[in-house]
Structure 1
């Protein structure tokens, strides 16, 4: 079976300089919370803690990056997620969609959710 995964460089090829800069900043902020590793898949980049994938960069637009955080419950009381959706057929995963247009979008609220995703289930 062929491996359809790309390298990070291959995945970012052809993406706008703005979206790459935003994504690099997102990773930099995550590294200040805890070291993360990037794993390119066919259509997205996984952001991984030492324990599991904690977020997915799913879309690189001309001037934004769309990132999905999978949580076990919905966190409706926030100002940072543009959409929260339960994964069909899975009562334990709620995808929280974050659209980053500016470095300033990573405020204290977003950093809190980033930390929540990173440290969840950590032993």
Structure 2
């Protein structure tokens, strides 16, 4: 796909630990965040939201806005530690895997590693 320039949304650095999330879901909307819009052929418009948290000093972007990227290319990284990411798809563009849906309904955290299968592209937006 082709990313546009990231937009920094400044905020404090609260923990994104699953226990903390159960107590205060506003953590995901108040922490430091970077929002990147990605235009893709298969998935349409995809929003990537990187959420900086405690012990994350900044979010480093390594891509060039407007230049095509490929699956597996490094987009950027969190400096000093890790954090959370969210990927938002247009309605009807992706069918998530059953284990991801089941664990999400039970409010269980799942770890994703590079190359893990989490869903399948659907051929277009829902009508």
Q: Which has the higher contact order (CA 8 A, sep 6+)?
A: 2
**Which structure has greater strand proportion?**
2
How high is the TM-score relative to the length of structure 2?
A: 0.26
Structure exhibiting the larger radius of gyration computed from Cα positions: 2
Structure showing the higher helix proportion among its residues: 1
TM-score calculated relative to the size of structure 1: 0.26
